[in-house]
Amino acid sequence: MQSEPADAGRMPPFGTARRIRTRSIWAVALFTASLPPAFIGFGIANATDDQTNLAMPLAFIFWTIGLLFALWAAFPTLRYWDGLPGPVRWLGALPLLSVSLFLSAALIGVLLL
């Protein structure tokens, strides 16, 4: 029976930092892409009585896919936190932190209104 070295589980496999960077960049890009349709959809909802509003579902789809990419970047970031360089750590955690902050602010806003 062989025992593995103590730090073998902490070192990320080759290419992990690159994958985390790519996923984080996609998450931020998709979150950003969801903003214009959300603003347009909100304007359509307030300005007209038309019930066909394609902009809001499009914004929700972009935001949901961005959330999936943020989770996809956060799991390996948290798993190999000690073995990753500092900038990659924060780049992997930032999209999920921004989603958490947005949801917290939305919840507080709804509760105060």
> Which residue from 39, 31, 37, 17 is spatially nearest to 95, judged by alpha carbons?
31
- Domain around 98: 16-112
Question: What's the rounded mean pLDDT across residues 32-46?
Answer: 84
Question: Is residue 1 one of the residues assigned to a domain?
Answer: no
* pTM flag (> 0.85): no
Question: Is residue 4 one of the residues assigned to a domain?
Answer: no
The confidence score (pLDDT) of residue 48 equals 72
Q: Decide: 45 and 31 in contact? Cβ < 8 Å.
A: no
Residue 2 has pLDDT above 70, yes or no: no
Question: Is residue 9 one of the residues assigned to a domain?
Answer: no
Q: How many domains does the chain have?
A: 1
Question: Is residue 72 one of the residues assigned to a domain?
Answer: yes
Question: Is residue 10 one of the residues assigned to a domain?
Answer: no
The confidence score (pLDDT) of residue 7 equals 56
Question: Is residue 5 one of the residues assigned to a domain?
Answer: no
